[in-house]
């Protein structure tokens, strides 16, 4: 096993990929079972919209609802098992420097932006654009998009049921690490949203590091 | 030797035909206008769908814009897991994340707009006498029901919602990829201040919820125990589904302008339907 320094500490195992996803851009990768993905919020409060699929059968895709059924909180953090639509484990959060992440709020889209902010936002770039574009490179289409994860995004639910995207809890250099429980395809949108505080109104790059994982 | 009454084609036909008229608890009424207890203000002749769905059963129908679909919890342990899709463009379907995010509210109540992934309204909740619903935790899976109850197959004693919805979808030419996140009615879940789910059970017998189709709509309903139902034994009682002809939400309806986000959703929907020549 090797130990590699990153912006914020160490990742375990041989580094297979170390890349920066530009602000507003899509990204995807296939991880083999046991490999780990560290997502580093380089400049702080950058929402990373995230979907994942079984690499062999993408019909087995992330399910926010199954993931929440199997844990005692609506937030994602260390120990959260990211489950597919048949309830099987896809990935596990093995480290988290922020404490809680969202899987209720879904992805921004040009269409939902028109509802939330007005029709002047219809031409703005949005996460669903990234998911559709990057997903199409893997044979995935609109039917394959479902409620996603928003790493580093803060979405509280008030006692009266009010839900909203509010100022983030992350900070420059904070990261989380995911372990693949089987071969998975990861789809990412580095969120381009500028109409709410999920990116501090300033989308920034994020860093992705894939390693062989602690078992390698 | 006495021949079996169904040993011949004639005998088998007579045997089959003699079965008509059997009444069971969970069955459709066809035509729906024969339903004996239409909701107040609804003429029997306007009913287009009347079915009682057994616990562990499912129902599905393509309905016209303006149709009102009333779901009823007959004896207090129904749980209606609902997936809505555009009947004419089924790649547009219910998006519970947008439904809650755009409304700034996770709890379902009368006035809720069930939004698609395309910034449009699929259906509106026009009446709710229950208040015990859930838009966060989805439906059950075969694997999880196997773990909890010993079985999750569609034909077994504790069918998973996803299995039932996959069957309903298949009957409209759709597949498991089309079975996206769902909402459920009649078994409530609240969220504590620190984010923990708390099942609140049902509102008791007789509660109902009415959905109004704002577009040509495919309605898929599985009636099966909620994923967070705390009872160790699978528990689900019959669900009544009644639908009747009606009008969609119009601009002079208070719901159209109840919130700016909702108004824009209605406007987007009207624009889309107008371009298609539907409205």
Listed as ranges, residues in chain B with pLDDT below 70 are 1
**Average of pLDDT values for A124-128?**
98
Q: For A163, which of B106, B119, B180 is closest by C-beta distance?
A: B106
CA distances from A107 to A164, B92, B172 (A): 13, 15, 28
Q: Tell me, letter by letter, the H, E, C secondary structure of A8-55.
A: CEEEECCEEEEEEECCCCEEEEEECCCCEEEEEECCCCCCEEEEEEEC
Model's pTM, two decimal places? 0.96
- Share above pLDDT 90 across residues of chain A, in percent, rounded to a whole number: 93
Judged by CB atoms closer than 8 Å, whether chains meet at A111 and B137 is answered as: no
Spell out the domain ranges in chain B: 52-276
Residue A151, burial from CB neighbour count under 10 angstroms (0-12, 13-18, 19+): buried
Is the pLDDT at A9 greater than 60, yes or no?
no
Residues of chain B in contact with residue A108, where contact means CB-CB under 8 angstroms, are none
Judged by CB atoms closer than 8 Å, whether chains meet at A161 and B179 is answered as: no
Best of B136, B139, B142 to disrupt the A interface (most A CBs within 10 Å) is B136
Q: For B105, which of A105, A115, A161 is closest by C-beta distance?
A: A161
Read off the tokens for B152.
């999750």
ipTM: 0.96
Residue B178 touches chain A, beta carbons under 8 Å? yes
How do residues B107-154 score in pLDDT, each as one tens digit? 999 999 999 999 999 999 999 999 999 999 999 999 999 999 999 999
Judged by CB atoms closer than 8 Å, whether chains meet at A115 and B264 is answered as: yes
Residues of chain B in contact with residue A148, where contact means CB-CB under 8 angstroms, are 97
Spell out the domain ranges in chain A: 19-171+178-205
Q: For A115, which of B136, B181, B261 is closest by C-beta distance?
A: B261
Judged by CB atoms closer than 8 Å, whether chains meet at A115 and B141 is answered as: no
Residues of chain A in contact with residue B268, where contact means CB-CB under 8 angstroms, are 111, 114-115
């Amino acid at each position: 096993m090797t130990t590699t320094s990153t912006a914020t500490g160490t990742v375990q195992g041989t580094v297979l990929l170390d890349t920066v996803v530009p602000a507003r851009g899509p990204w995807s990768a296939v991880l083999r079972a046991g490999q780990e993905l560290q997502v580093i919020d380089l400049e702080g409060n950058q929402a990373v919209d995230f979907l994942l699929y079984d690499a062999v059968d993408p019909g087995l895709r992330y399910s926010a609802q199954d993931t929440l059924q199997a844990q005692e909180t609506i937030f994602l953090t260390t120990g959260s098992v990211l489950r597919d639509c048949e309830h099987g484990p896809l990935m596990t959060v093995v480290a988290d420097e922020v404490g809680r992440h969202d899987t209720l709020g879904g992805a921004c889209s040009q269409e939902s932006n028109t509802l939330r902010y007005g029709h002047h936002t219809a031409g703005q770039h949005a996460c669903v654009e990234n998911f559709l574009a990057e997903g199409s490179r893997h044979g995935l289409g609109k039917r394959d998009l479902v409620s996603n994860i928003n790493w580093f995004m803060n979405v509280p639910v008030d006692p009266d049921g009010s839900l909203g995207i509010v100022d983030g809890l992350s900070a420059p250099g904070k990261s989380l690490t995911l372990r693949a429980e089987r071969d998975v395809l990861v789809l990412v949108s580095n969120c381009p949203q500028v109409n709410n505080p999920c990116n501090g109104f300033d989308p920034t790059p994020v860093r992705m590091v894939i390693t062989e994982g602690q078992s390698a | 030797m006495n021949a079996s009454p169904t040993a011949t084609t004639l005998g088998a036909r007579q045997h089959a035909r003699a079965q008509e008229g059997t009444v069971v608890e969970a069955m459709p009424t066809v035509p729906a206008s024969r339903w004996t207890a239409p909701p107040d203000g609804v003429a029997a002749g306007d009913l287009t769908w009347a079915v009682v769905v057994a616990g562990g059963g499912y129902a599905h129908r393509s309905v016209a814009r303006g149709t009102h679909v009333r779901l009823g919890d007959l004896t207090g342990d129904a749980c209606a897991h609902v997936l809505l899709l555009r009947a004419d463009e089924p790649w547009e379907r219910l998006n519970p994340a947008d439904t809650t995010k755009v409304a700034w509210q996770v709890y379902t109540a009368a006035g809720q707009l069930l939004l698609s992934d395309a910034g449009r309204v699929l259906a509106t909740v026009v009446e709710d006498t229950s208040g015990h619903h859930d838009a966060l935790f989805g439906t059950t899976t075969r694997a999880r029901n196997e773990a909890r109850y010993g079985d999750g197959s569609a034909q077994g004693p504790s069918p998973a919602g996803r299995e039932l919805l996959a069957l309903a979808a298949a009957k409209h030419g759709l597949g498991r990829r089309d079975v996206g996140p769902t909402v459920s009615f009649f078994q409530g879940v609240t969220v504590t201040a620190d984010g923990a789910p708390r099942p609140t059970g049902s509102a008791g017998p007789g509660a109902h919820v009415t959905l109004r189709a704002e577009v040509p709509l495919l309605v898929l309903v599985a009636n099966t125990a909620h994923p967070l139902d705390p009872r160790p034994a699978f528990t689900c009682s019959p669900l009544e589904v009644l639908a009747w002809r009606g009008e969609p939400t119009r601009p002079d309806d208070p719901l159209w302008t109840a919130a700016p986000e909702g108004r824009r959703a209605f406007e987007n929907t009207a624009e889309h339907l107008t371009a298609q020549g539907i409205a």
